[in-house]
Amino acid sequence: MKTIRTRLRFFILFSVFAAMLTLPVSCSKTKPEITYGFLKLVLYQGQGDEDPVEHFSFFIIPEDDEGIDNLDELFLFHDREQLRWHIKSDEWISYTHDGKDWIGTRSISVNEGSLPRGVFRAVLVNKGGESSQRNFTYDGVIRFPFPEIEISEGRYTITSQWPVNHLVCYDRTGSFSRTITLTSLSGSVSDLRLPSSVRTVVLWAEDEDNFCSAFTNAVSVN
């Protein structure tokens, strides 16, 4: 009797194990996709007489069957110059706009000189090790001199040939307050209707058609 029970238990365990082997594996092997993306050149004012510092703002719209949380790494290569930038999932910026998820960084830079132009190759990797790539081209040029802002005795003066100019406002803790699009390059600070908490502003100039923008250092509004 014990022999029959032992054989029966073994048969049941073997049958359950065999059935488990036939179940589908949940780990997806589908490659992620880069459906859209862009490179935007951003200039930051240098210290003193130093030239502006160039950064690329690089963002993509990714797709993965397991969702955005299944994405692990994003690479950007400039093969001609043998450059590589590596952005991990815990480092990239993510946001949603018009129902689309975006991931990327505003910190693509080189140690010295200007960023290269031409063809860049993006590679997206998910947690399963699957990857896909897509090429992006940036051939933009800096068409305008670096802008300037001065605030003195309750008046502001902007020196800028850039098509669109904004003021990015910060409070006394350095936290972002709001962005104001300028309709005039000079005038009274009071006409800007800044919140009373604003202590400093940065001039943000944009050349949208050329995917290029510039940021000055912060200046006090007082």
Amino acid identity of 7?
A: R
pLDDT of residue 11: 39
The answer to whether residues 97 and 181 belong to one domain is: no
pLDDT of residue 49: 83
Token pair belonging to 87? 């952005």
Element (H or E) spanning 16, and its range?
A: helix 2-21
The residue among 113, 138, 163 that closes a domain is: 138
pLDDT of residue 121: 98
Please give the chain's pLDDT, 222 residues, in tens: 444 344 434 433 344 344 444 444 444 568 999 999 999 999 999 988 899 999 999 999 999 999 999 999 999 999 999 999 999 999 999 999 999 999 999 999 999 889 999 999 999 999 999 999 999 999 999 999 999 999 999 999 999 999 999 999 999 999 999 999 999 999 999 999 999 999 999 999 999 999 999 999 999 998
The residue among 74, 103, 138 that closes a domain is: 138
Q: Where are the beta strands (DSSP E) in 79-154?
A: 83-88, 93-97, 100-108, 118-126, 131-138, 148-152
**How many independent structural domains does the chain possess?**
2
Q: Is residue 154 part of a domain?
A: yes
Q: Is residue 86 part of a domain?
A: yes
Tokens 């400093």 -> residue: 200
DSSP 111: S
pTM for the full predicted model = 0.81
The answer to whether residues 161 and 83 belong to one domain is: no
The answer to whether residues 165 and 120 belong to one domain is: no
pLDDT of residue 29: 62
Cβ atoms < 10 Å from Cβ of 183:
8
Q: Is residue 28 part of a domain?
A: no
The answer to whether residues 120 and 179 belong to one domain is: no
Of 144, 142, 122, 147, residue with least CA distance to 132: 122
The answer to whether residues 133 and 154 belong to one domain is: no
Q: Is residue 27 part of a domain?
A: no
pLDDT of residue 98: 94
The answer to whether residues 111 and 45 belong to one domain is: yes
Distance CA 76, CA 212 (A): 19
**Whether the Cβ atoms of residue 105 and residue 87 lie closer than 8 Å to each other:** yes
**Whether the Cβ atoms of residue 135 and residue 82 lie closer than 8 Å to each other:** no
